[in-house]
Amino acid sequence: MKEEVSPLAGKTVLVTGGTGSFGHEFVRTCLARHRPKKVIIFSRDELKQFEMRRAFPEKTHPNLRFFIGDVRDRERLYRALDGVDIVVHAAALKQVPACEYNPIEAIRTNVLGATNLVDAAIDRGVKKVIALSTDKAANPVNLYGATKLCSDKLFIAGNNYTGPHETRFSVVRYGNVLGSRGSVVPFFQEARKWGRLPITDVRMTRFIITLPQGVDFVVNNLARMRGGEIFVPKIPSIGILDIAKAVAPECDIEIVGIRPGEKLHEVMIPADDARRTVDKGDHYVIVPDAVDMRKYVRQQGGSLCPEGFAYSSDNNPDWLDERTFLEMLTPASPAKQQRGGASAVADRAVASPAV
């Protein structure tokens, strides 16, 4: 049987926001399993780059490069993308309260940064760009979600004006990344010191994905993408109380109420997108408007989702119990990492501390 070739093999790959949780896991996986020609970390924080260099020393990782830059800086992007084959776009302002308080800063990074990347990728001849989105972009109720919805639209529309260039853009959308920076698990672990966990609403549910699953989902969709798709993994849900009981069973629960910009349940595919959604077994694909849906299914496989279908954390058939959630918190074997029907997904969407 012929060995499947990685879409990253022999390629020069640039990761925007590459010093974050996703970037660390992506680089680790990419260098260990996918044989890239070069991996470039593009980010604006020199200290984080210094720390990442120590984790991936040049002596043992000679094909890893670091490039100081900001997606807001169009000219710097043009320089960074020279000779790049693939871009994984993970740069974003993600913290909901910070985006609410500093809206123009979120727009400059999440929206104008996406515009700069689309233009630079086309002009520099990048072959593929895959952007990390968030559940908060589906029916957004906060500024972060609104900027990411706008960003998603920009990347999808980028396929319309590539002209003679071969550049293709697609998006991956997923839920909370387990244990990522600023997410609920580290927050609860810290709150154990005080013996009390703040819970916004006991009915709250969330999608959960691990970083290794996220990285695999991104890589798999680099191979699948034709341009214009939004890929959504099938991943398990969990109730916020189950997270609290699993992380700190000895602590008291304090109900603090849903904060501005929070949802009771997460949505990854709203009902309005059902007519453009294809069920591919372990993931969904939201197909571009210009594509004939039935022709797509005949050629690519899968099945059309019924009218009115929606994929949200409260109507999900796949749920984590406390035991399985605790297993996911521990360093997982490859078999465990495939749990939840996902080949599937990673960091973009960090939960705010009370989810």
| CA distance linking residue 354 with residue 256, whole number of Å | 9
Q: 168: helix, coil or strand?
A: strand
> What are the catalytic residues?
136
Q: 21-33 vs 46-55: helix axis angle to the nearest 10?
A: 30
Token pair recorded at residue 178: 């387990």
| CA distance linking residue 131 with residue 299, whole number of Å | 24
DSSP 8-state code for residue 291? S
> How many residues does the structure list for the chain?
355
Q: Tell which residue, 345, 183, 160, has the closest CA to residue 268.
A: 345
Total Cβ atoms within 10 A of residue 313? 25
| CA distance linking residue 93 with residue 55, whole number of Å | 24
Q: 67: helix, coil or strand?
A: strand
Upper half-sphere CA count for residue 281 (Cβ side, 13 Å): 5
Token pair recorded at residue 108: 């400059």
Pairing of strands 196-199, 267-269: unpaired
Residue 7 to residues 34, 131, 213: CA-CA distances in angstroms?
Answer: 8, 16, 17
Residue 346 to residues 288, 295, 337, 343: CA-CA distances in angstroms?
Answer: 23, 30, 12, 11
Handedness of CA 153, 155, 159, 163 (dihedral sign): positive
Please check whether residue 23 is in contact with residue 184, taking contact to mean a CB–CB distance below 8 angstroms.
no
Total Cβ atoms within 10 A of residue 151? 27
Q: List the beta bridge partners of residue 27.
A: none
